[in-house]
Structure 1
């Protein structure tokens, strides 16, 4: 699967790294579009198949995360030894194909297993991309580059909500799956033609230093032992996982909250939440990367401290946004919805500010030949808890609270999830005390 590029081949022009980054962002956008489209389609799917919130949470969380997280490890092992570009091309084709198949599901279990197929493909989509970016950008720019890559999350979430919602409202939820799935299948060969696999560790050498063959990838067990022995790896991983429990859960269930508690239609929710996810997410991710690069130049502790502070600020803002209808009811329905939109932008951005700083820090916990494996182990913890637990947690708690709160049970379920952001902030503060010692230049 190697693309034949020799280690001593001349490095590409500096401008080409931005072409690669833009292409990776596009692929990541489709990654999250296919992943998050399920949230906006929750109501029509639940209505057709007669699902409870807990059943839908199980399908949206465990069905995707089970193979997505476990297969990421062997795929990362391959990506540390063979062409990362070929692996990502195959992954894009597989997850897009299974997304299209979701549109043909005839019941809960067919949709469940189709979502498992999406997870199989997406298992090879992120860790290799982290490694590619680390080999294209110098260490002083990596938090910003990885933050820019993370733009795919709000772009994919926003477009998935908007395109999925509008297609579902006009043509049905099945058409939404088929259309977005086919987009990825078309993009796959274009991605392979544009992106080249760089020399591993090439961006780590000093300016003007001659190119040198990269060291061979060490045995998988060596990478695991190296990371397991570093407390900062566990603190960063479980801190990210705690934030993802709430992040994935809120992203999956907030569209349903807007329809149930705020009375928006499917089309209105598509526009409303797409704007929140897109604008809030883009701003928060970029600021997180920029601030972390500046603070990290002075102290490595700046990488986890940046999102820790962001989480502490975001929790009260999120609670305020969810109650803005009552607080700003005097402005009329339009005024209250506008106020809610503006306030939601703040926690949406702050809650995604961790992506650039934390993924950049993880890249520096292992040497270049181990980076894909390190990323995959980090993502295993983050996503297994974040996706599998987060989406199911909010649905289950909503079902449990329904006898007490009725149609507002989802609102109270989301309230309980805010505690995960506080846990994440505490773990990141602890990681800041250990990161300098565990850092690999």
Structure 2
């Protein structure tokens, strides 16, 4: 049997591993996104401003989430990726539950820091495990299936959080989703094991290269222009993406007159329908087009961002919720297309032994800027615009911030040609 045939043969455990990683990622985003739908009752009870809520949703989470991801990913590359994910799941779920005990801004700020520390060890090792279990030509699709955790988890977080908060209270919502994550840790560890540190080449096992040190991986990536363009392009899009995901429920309540449950249903449906379609389309198209030209792994997101920005503007400016719902679906899908292509491309900028570390370095830039800056920036801009626009300040804050998608489109377009020479063949 040829080397290529052996390399592309699916691992019999790959489906189970991908399925469990998806479940964990869903919990990741349920715990992360639930704060957005609970923002209104939390602000009312704890007397917080939009700027303070922006800190809780962005910087409080992103600060340690982004920085701790790098050493934890390096640890995962050199020890056990599955164990790092399992311990991280236990930690972030526990801190999510603790958010329900908060009595003031600093209580919930510290609990969100804990959620960020926990979640920092979950994503990059998961990317690496998927890279281990799936061959190169199927990796963007596999990463897209994994990335379904973002819209599904976000949608469930919004729907469950809104329902529980409306029927009981916002504190119970944190308790329920946090403890549910704790309970699945044993099942995950039982079903998901690290791939043996060997590879099959023409039927004969040979050792994989030793995981390089963090500094060495960083040095390799720093010399590849595609890494910088992809990372900062993703960061610009994430500033807007996380900003919309966090603040749209509040916009629906303030500008469309929705109650908490109505806002959760509206936004949850957009996330599930538009997000799932966009994530899957991105992976499938990237694997198809990228086989012809590696530049498409960057060009596909560039086109999606360019088309999505004006459609988001129409939805944000709409005064009819029915029109807004239809209009928001398409740009929501376009906003998620980048995940499969870009995450797969990052995996191919280093050798397999360094995948967790490379992914974490990418996430450091993406999340520190995108998650840490976007939610806070939109909240602070809303506070700044309040004297001019009053109750509509949040609407115009989101509208002005759409320029970030234009910047992201340009950076992704520039990354394309460099990917052709930076790509590491397997």
Compute the RMSD of aligned alpha carbons. 1.3
Contact 2:83 2:189 in 1 (8 A): yes
2:109 match: 112
Indicate whether 1:228 and 2:222 are aligned: yes
1:416 match: 400
2:62 match: 65
Match of 2:156 among 155, 159, 171: 159
Indicate whether 1:407 and 2:391 are aligned: yes
1:82 match: 79
Number of aligned residue pairs = 418
1:184 match: 181
Shift of 1:12: 11
1:45 match: 42
SS at match of 1:351: helix
2:256 match: 262
Shift of 1:219: 2.0
Shift of 1:321: 1.6
1:5 match: none
Contact 2:81 2:125 in 1 (8 A): yes
Shift of 1:241: 0.3
Indicate whether 1:431 and 2:415 are aligned: yes
Q: Distance in 2 between matches of 1:271 and 1:431?
A: 37
Shift of 1:304: 0.5
Match of 1:199 among 196, 199, 206: 196
Shift of 1:216: 1.1
Shift of 1:154: 0.3
Per-residue deviation, residues 224-268 of structure 1 (Å, max 9, x unmatched) = 110111111010000000000000111000000000011100011
Per-residue deviation, residues 53-91 of structure 1 (Å, max 9, x unmatched) = 011101111110111111111101101111111110000
1:7 match: none
SS at match of 1:95: helix
Q: Distance in 2 between matches of 1:409 and 1:179?
A: 33
Runs of 4+ in 1 over 6 A off after TM superposition: none
Contact 2:143 2:344 in 1 (8 A): yes
Per-residue deviation, residues 189-247 of structure 1 (Å, max 9, x unmatched) = 11000111113574xx65x4422221111222111110111111010000000000000
Per-residue deviation, residues 150-176 of structure 1 (Å, max 9, x unmatched) = 000000100000000000011110000
Match of 2:168 among 168, 171, 195: 171
2:206 match: 212
Q: With structure 2 as the length reference, what TM-score do the two structures score?
A: 0.96
Shift of 1:287: 0.4
Contact 1:318 1:343 in 2 (8 A): yes
| Distance 1:434-1:12 versus aligned 2 partners, 3 A rule | closer
Shift of 1:418: 0.6
Match of 1:279 among 269, 273, 283: 273
Q: Distance in 2 between matches of 1:190 and 1:117?
A: 23
Contact 1:69 1:384 in 2 (8 A): yes
Q: Distance in 1 between matches of 2:340 and 2:187?
A: 26
Indicate whether 1:296 and 2:290 are aligned: yes
Contact 1:201 1:369 in 2 (8 A): no
Shift of 1:343: 1.4
Contact 1:95 1:122 in 2 (8 A): yes
Shift of 1:13: 7.3
SS at match of 1:216: coil
Indicate whether 1:355 and 2:349 are aligned: no
SS at match of 1:365: coil
Indicate whether 1:27 and 2:11 are aligned: no
Match of 1:389 among 370, 373, 376: 373
Match of 2:142 among 142, 145, 163: 145
SS at match of 2:206: coil
Indicate whether 1:246 and 2:235 are aligned: no
Per-residue deviation, residues 299-350 of structure 1 (Å, max 9, x unmatched) = 000100011001111111111122332xxxxxxxxxx423321211101010
Q: Distance in 1 between matches of 2:149 and 2:204?
A: 34
Q: With structure 1 as the length reference, what TM-score do the two structures score?
A: 0.93
Contact 2:14 2:133 in 1 (8 A): yes
1:101 match: 98
Contact 2:198 2:205 in 1 (8 A): no
2:13 match: 16
Q: Distance in 2 between matches of 1:305 and 1:79?
A: 31
Unaligned runs of 5+ residues in structure 1 are 1-10, 326-335
Q: Distance in 1 between matches of 2:197 and 2:259?
A: 49
Unaligned runs of 5+ residues in structure 2 are 1-7
Q: Which deviates further from its counterpart, 337-346 or 261-270?
A: 337-346
